[in-house]
């Protein structure tokens, strides 16, 4: 690509060898002038920061925040917000798109900053989505001149480079939002109002980890970025998947009926007893990965692999879209959860033996830069998929609902389904009553996160 060497990995075997086994040299990031210099200077954005000491401090902090005990302590608010989402779907099924997007952002807002986002139109929910949309749009290939491949373009005066003005505006918007949320957390802690949020823990450990306020504020903001739009996209893709395969939806409903009956909706403790629903989740991640092209890694020294010489500075992509459509997957373009019941990799030819370092899904990346929030995301996905499947009948309003990524999905670095015509109705009056009662019972959980 111009003067830049680029390698695209289309098989899990190559990703395993280069990203997972040789992670020490394949874990950096390409130069990103707009992201790292104009919008997030000072190595503040963990997704974009090059591999090195600065990244390791941020990564260590994030991993400490997202350990199993800490993540599972967030289950009560995840369950409460999922219950509210079901209540909103009862009251306003046509607003499903915003209800699901509200859920994913509200969970992250409460988990990270100890605050609520009770409605999609809540100022902070809207502010986060706007800031994130602006940030991802300017980072999309083609959105700006190729300033990293041709560094001379960086010196074009701002008068002739509208992208510079846009980058500065995004920087100001992000900075204002993230710092405001951090300062609000500090104020509440000073008043003795503690929710156990991630930001409270970051601030408590700030002297130990050596992060200044700029890094702390952006760490909180980036945790919100990573967990909001991505979770919503997968949940919306799940709805498209089950509409395209009604038999799979019926099987998932039968599994939930056997476990929960009609007296209650599923909760976190049920999730390990729902193998078919988990297969549905894994199939959704395979069928529609949110970052289908992967996030670029940078090789930091010369390397050789299978007869190829890869020079230092080569950009390497793990192409999740192609990996998830390998010939090992029967009918790879179709939504078929059963593929994951007999083989955890969903493969028709590969056995588990000899698959060390192979990942069940590449939706969360690979190697040393794999997403640290995978467990938090999967908890949210399983809870919502379980409750939606247990409580609602879902079908497309159109005979042939569009699921094609070329027409039914947004473009960009992270893609998501566009709004689609769908019927969402409670399975019975009893299911409706259960959701309404459970929503009322969650008010004590919400009260912890309200001023």
165's CB contacts (< 8 A; 6+ apart) are 158
Residue 356 pLDDT grade (very low, low, confident, very high; cuts 50, 70, 90): confident
Contact call for residues 406 and 291 (beta carbons, < 8 A): no
φ, ψ of residue 248 to 5 degrees: the values are -65, -40
User: Which pLDDT score, from 0 to 100, does residue 124 have?
Assistant: 85
Average pLDDT, the chain: 92
The DSSP bridge pattern shows strands 315-318 and 6-9 to be parallel
pLDDT tens readout for residues 305-351:
999 999 999 999 999 999 999 988 989 999 999 999 988 899 877 66
> What pLDDT sits at residue 149?
86
Which tokens in the block code for residue 169? 């505006």
Q: How far apart are CA 22 and CA 217, in angstroms?
A: 32
Packing angle, helices 213-244 and 246-260, rounded to 10: 110
- Is the pLDDT at 17 greater than 70? The verdict is yes
pLDDT tier for residue 352 given thresholds of 50, 70 and 90? low
Exposed (0-12), middle (13-18) or buried (19+): which is 100, by Cβ within 10 Å? buried
Over residues 239-258, the pLDDT tens digits come to 999 999 999 999 999 999 99
Of 341, 347, 343, the closest CA to residue 276 belongs to: 341
This prediction has a pTM of 0.94
447 or 82, higher pLDDT: 82
At 183-230, the pLDDT tens digits run 999 999 999 988 889 999 999 989 888 899 999 999 999 888 877 788
Q: What is the DSSP string of 360-395?
A: S-STT--GGGS-TTHHHHHHHHHHHHHHHHHHEEEE
Asked whether the predicted pLDDT for residue 436 surpasses 90, the reply is yes
- pLDDT 10s digits, 369-410: 999 999 999 999 999 999 999 999 999 987 788 999 999 998
Question: Of 82, 73, 80, which Cα lies nearest the Cα of 104?
Answer: 82
β partners of residue 189: none
H or E element: which one contains 171? helix 162-190
Pick the CATH number of 6-447 from 1.10.1200.10, 2.130.10.10, 3.30.160.620, 1.10.630.10: 1.10.630.10
Q: Binding residue per annotation — 260?
A: no
DSSP 269: G
């Amino acid at each position: 690509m111009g003067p830049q060497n680029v390698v695209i990995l289309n098989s899990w075997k190559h990703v395993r060898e280069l990203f997972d086994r040789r992670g020490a040299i394949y874990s950096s990031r390409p130069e990103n002038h707009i992201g790292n210099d104009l919008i997030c200077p000072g190595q503040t954005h963990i997704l974009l920061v090059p591999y090195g000491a600065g990244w390791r401090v941020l990564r260590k902090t994030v991993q400490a925040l997202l350990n199993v005990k800490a993540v599972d302590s967030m289950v009560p608010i995840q369950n409460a917000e999922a219950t509210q989402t079901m209540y909103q779907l009862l009251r306003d099924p046509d607003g499903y798109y915003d209800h699901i997007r509200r859920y994913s952002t509200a969970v992250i807002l409460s988990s990270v900053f100890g605050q609520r986002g009770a409605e999609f139109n809540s100022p902070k929910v809207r502010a986060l989505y706007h800031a994130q949309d602006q940030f991802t749009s300017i980072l999309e290939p083609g959105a700006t001149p190729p300033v990293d491949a041709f560094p001379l373009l960086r010196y074009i005066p701002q008068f002739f480079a509208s992208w510079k003005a846009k980058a500065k505006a995004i920087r100001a918007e992000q900075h204002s939002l993230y710092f405001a949320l951090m300062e609000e957390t500090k104020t509440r802690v000073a008043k003795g109002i503690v929710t156990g949020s991630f930001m409270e823990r970051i601030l408590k450990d700030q002297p130990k980890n050596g992060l200044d306020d700029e890094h702390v504020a952006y760490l909180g903001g980036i945790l919100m970025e990573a967990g909001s739009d991505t979770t919503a996209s997968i949940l919306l893709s799940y709805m498209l998947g089950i509409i395209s395969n009604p038999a799979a939806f019926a099987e998932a409903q039968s599994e939930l009926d056997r476990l929960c009956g009609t007296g209650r909706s599923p909760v976190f403790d049920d999730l390990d007893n729902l193998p078919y629903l988990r297969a549905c989740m894994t199939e959704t991640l395979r069928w529609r990965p949110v970052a289908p092209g992967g996030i670029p890694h940078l090789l930091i020294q010369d390397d050789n692999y299978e007869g190829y010489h890869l020079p230092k500075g080569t950009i390497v992509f793990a192409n999740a879209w192609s990996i998830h459509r390998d010939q090992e997957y029967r009918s790879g373009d179709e939504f078929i959860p059963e593929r994951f019941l007999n083989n955890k990799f969903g493969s028709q030819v590969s056995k588990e033996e000899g698959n060390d370092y192979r990942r069940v899904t590449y939706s969360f990346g690979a190697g040393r830069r794999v997403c640290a929030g995978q467990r938090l995301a999967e908890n949210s996905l399983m809870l919502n998929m379980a409750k939606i499947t247990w409580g609602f009948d879902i079908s497309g309003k159109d005979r042939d609902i569009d699921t094609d990524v070329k027409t039914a999905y947004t473009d960009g670095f992270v893609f998501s389904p566009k709004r689609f015509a769908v019927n969402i109705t409670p399975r019975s009056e009893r299911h409706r009553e259960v959701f309404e009662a459970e929503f009322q019972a969650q008010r004590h959980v919400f009260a912890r996160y309200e001023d």
